[in-house]
Structures are given as C-alpha cells and as structure tokens.
Amino acid sequence: MGGYAKSVVAAYAVVFSALAPVLTFSKAEIPYPLLPNLKFDFAEIPIMMALLLGGLVPGLATAVIHWIGLTLARGLVLGPLMKFLAVAPMVAGFWLAIRLYKRGWTVKSIAAAFLAGIAARIVVCIALNAVVLLFVAPEFLRFSECALKAAGINVASTGDFCYGPNSQRHI
C-alpha cells in the first residue's frame, strides 16, 4: 500500500470508483475514426489514477466497482465484462512492471510500466475476442463481415452471411 494509511487507500478507491462511472455516463469519450462503435473511454483515467496514487488494491477495486456499476446500470453482461477483463490486466501489468523495476518513479520505469500494461491488455483482449467471436457471439463476426462488404472492402470468407435485400440468408 506504499506506506499510506488504510483509510487513505480506501478513500482513493471510493473517490475514483465514483468518478469512473460519472465519466462513462457523461459520454466522455472520443470515437475511434476507423470503427466509430469503438471509443477511447476517459473512464479508465480514474482507474489508473487510483493505481498510481494508492497502489494495486485501489486500482483493481476501482476497476471492479466500475464493472459492477456498468453491469447494473446498463443491464448488459458481455460488454462491461469485456471492458473489465481488458482494464484489469492493464492495471496488473502496469503495477507488476513498477514492482519489478525497483528503481522508483523514473521515466524508464514508467515507460516500462505502460508497455507492460499495454502488452498485458493486448494479450488478454486477443484471447477474449477470439473466444467471444468464435464461441459466444459469432453473429458479431458475421455483422463485421457485412459492414466491411457494405463499405466496399472485399473480405475473404467461407460463406456469405450478409442479410441484405438482394441476398439470401445462409445458416
């Protein structure tokens, strides 16, 4: 806990856990230009601030509370769970790199921490997306194929799954 009193660490978790959903529901986000349904979400900033100020416990607590809040508020399970499973490895990777570096807060340790967090997030997200797109919700993959074809981008596929007015539905 970095020498802080438990009450200070708890306060970090509480304050940043309240701020993350506020940013989410206020739509503090920037659409990704190539795929507008994906967004750069500013709600992850309080999670990282809790990690940087209080350590791993407040960082992960903030991520868990944000996940629970999203799940309850939106009534959805998959989206908030995927977000949590992307954020949690990023937080853990960042924290682990800082702990392993053992030289305090230097430019090199922070750069290594960011790279470790990003790498952990990428590895976990690749695996999770593969599971979701292949087993949980394969219709998302078919929708993506249709959207790319509608945009004029040719994609190689094993079958034509687009359900347009001029196409037949294939199962």
Contact yes or no for 30/66 (Cβ under 8 A): no
Closest CA to 58 of 99, 122, 2, 103: 2
Spacing of C-alpha 101 from chain mean position = 25
Domains along the chain with CATH numbers: 6-136 (1.10.1760.20), 137-171 (no CATH)
Listed residue (77, 56, 94, 72) closest to 21, CA to CA: 72
Find all residues with CB under 8 Å of 46, minimum gap 6, and list them: 16, 17, 19, 20, 23, 62
List per-residue pLDDT tens for the chain, 171 residues long.
455 688 888 898 899 999 998 898 888 888 887 777 778 889 899 999 999 998 999 999 999 999 999 899 888 899 899 999 999 999 999 999 988 887 777 888 889 999 999 999 999 999 998 898 888 888 887 777 777 778 787 777 645 555 554 555 444
pLDDT at 77 (0 to 100): 92
**Predicted pLDDT of residue 97:** 93
Q: What is the pLDDT of residue 19?
A: 92
Q: Which pLDDT score, from 0 to 100, does residue 170 have?
A: 46
- Residue 170's SS3 state is coil
pTM of the predicted protein model:
0.77
pLDDT of residue 159: 52
